[in-house]
Amino acid sequence: MASSSSSSVSSNYDIPWVEKYRPNKVSDIVGNEDAVSRLKVIARDGNMPNLILSGPPGTGKTTSILALAHELLGANYREAVLELNASDDRGIDVVRNKIKMFAQKKVTLPPGCHKVIILDEADRFFFDFFGGNMVKCRYNISMTSGAQQALRRTMEIYSNTTRFALACNTSSKIIEPIQSRCAIVRFSRLSDQEILGRLMVVVETEKVPYIPEGLEAVIFTADGDMRQALNNLQATYSGFRFVNQENVFKVCDQPHPLHVKNMVKHVLEGNFDDACSGLKQLYDLGYSPTDIITTLFRIIKNYDMAEYLKLEFMKETGFAHMRICDGVGSYLQLCGLLAKLSVARETAKAV
């Protein structure tokens, strides 16, 4: 959502900051020190083993792979790297052939260098191309084992010239014969400090006027996802030319966390009516129930309240979220949630 607004709001066709500030070197990647330090060694010494990078979105998996490939292959990048991702929808056979043709292709590389095949969003990739895509479900059986054969065989046969790097959200979605041939590198969400560090670099280079609370808001909306953070920052800047809380939440189309926090506070203090009117305001501003409840969940997670209450609140929020996902995303649903939270509080309260 944020990414689309970033490109449309700006009039002078800026390149998205996620691309502009995509680190070109492995050493510029923030967070996940252990993984990055090892990738650095690979970038220096070559001989990349087959890799699966798995972790939540926007933590630098794709960036790491691309940077690594660039550092490894330098000027040969265009020749010696094959990038494939899930949006490559030209059909499974073309993709498989591409992989094979590429693996067979002769490229003169310095000794110790290998060609690299990058499969981005590999879990979705397997799902769409080799797995249970609804349209292709007639070919279901052949797809998965076809992928298996194409990939695991290619991995083995060409391992002296070609290596694979896969990026995915969950490694368990990747078929086992392939997992078995790869080292698995896990990425975790970036911490707020790590994101802040990167944002500061961008803010300074782009000369973005900001106040600290604004960046805080950007970090809140990003929830450990650097891509989201950069997109939201850029969107706010191009929309309002100034990064403060209000602008960030306006641009990101997310309910203001303070507002939501107040709702929770009202519930905890027993002011059900106030909580409800807060909710009504949000709802009337046009925020969707999913947006509201997603923010609500994150507020509850970080709110300082009794252990029992937090547990109950999370549980009820979870159920409400589930029902909303199932299509019952009404105002009434959200009011009901507030009522449930109030009941939980009443039950727990000492008389």
Partner 1 sequence: MGKRDAVVVLSSDEEEEDWKPNKNSRSKLSSSVPQANPEVAKKKKKARFSSSVPRSRSSRVDQFEHLGDEFDEALRAFNGSIGYVKNQRKELWVDKYKPQSLEELAVHKKKVEEVKMWFEQRLRTPKEEFDSYVLVISGPAGVGKSATVHMIASHLGAGLCEWKTPIPTLWQEHVHNSSSGIRYTSKLDEFENFVERTRKYISLSGESKSSIILLIDDLPVSNGKFAYGRLQNCLRVLVQSTRTPTAILVTEYGNTETADRTARSIEELVLSLESAGACKVLFNPVTLNSIKRTLSRICRLEQCNVTAGEIDLIAKASGGDIRHAITSLQYYTLKPETSFSSPSSNGALACFEEKTVDLNSLDVEASLPFGRDETLSLFHALGKFLHNKRDTENAVTSDHDRFHLREKFRRLPLKMEAPEKVLSQAHGQARPVVDFLHENVLDFIRDENIDDAWTVASYLSEADFLLASSRGTITRSYEAESVLQSTAVSVAVRGVLFGNSNPLSSRWHAIRRPKIWQVEQSSVCNKFEMMKQRFTAYDGLSSSNLSHVAMEHRHVLKWLGSRPYGNGVLTQGNDTEGNKVDGMTSEGQQCEASEDEIEDW
Ligand X SMILES: Nc1ncnc2c1ncn2[C@@H]1O[C@H](COP(=O)(O)OP(=O)(O)O)[C@@H](O)[C@H]1O
Listed ranges 51-59, 158-166, 210-218, 323-331: which one lies at the site for ligand X (CB under 6 A) = 51-59
Shorter beta-carbon distance to partner 1: residue 45 or 213 = 45
Question: Which residue sits closest to ligand X, CB atoms considered?
Answer: 60
Q: Is 35 in the site for ligand X (CB under 6 A)?
A: no
Q: Is 62 in the site for Mg ion (CB under 5 A)?
A: yes
Segment lying near ligand X (by CB under 6 A), choices 28-36, 37-45, 150-158, 203-211: 28-36
Q: Given candidates 6, 54, 62, 295, which one binds ligand X under the rule CB under 6 A?
A: 62
Distance of CA 122 to the CA centre of its chain: 14
**Looking at beta carbons, which pairs linking 173-180 to residues 24 or more positions away fall under 8 Å?**
173/123, 173/126, 173/127, 174/52, 174/122, 174/123, 174/126, 175/126, 175/144, 175/147, 175/148, 177/148, 177/152, 178/52, 178/148, 178/151, 178/152, 179/52
User: Would you say 18 or 199 has its CB closer to Mg ion?
Assistant: 18
Shortest spacing between CB 64 and partner 1, in angstroms: 13
Min CB(310)–ligand X separation in Å: 30
Residues found in the chain: 351
The residue among 62 and 232 lying less far from Mg ion, judged by its C-beta, is: 62
Cα distances (Å, whole numbers) of residue 233 to 2, 12, 14, 94, 196: 9, 17, 13, 38, 11
Candidate ranges 55-63, 86-94, 134-142, 242-250; the one touching ligand X (CB under 6 A): 55-63
What is the token pair recorded at 108? 């003169």
Task: Give the one residue of 6, 52, 61, 320 binding ligand X; rule: CB under 6 A.
Answer: 61
Q: Is 122 in the site for ligand X (CB under 6 A)?
A: no
Residue among 226, 278, 299 nearest 58 (CA): 226
Question: Under rule CB under 6 A, which residues in 202-231 are in contact with ligand X?
Answer: 226-227, 230
Residues lying near Mg ion in the complex (CB under 5 A) are found at: 62
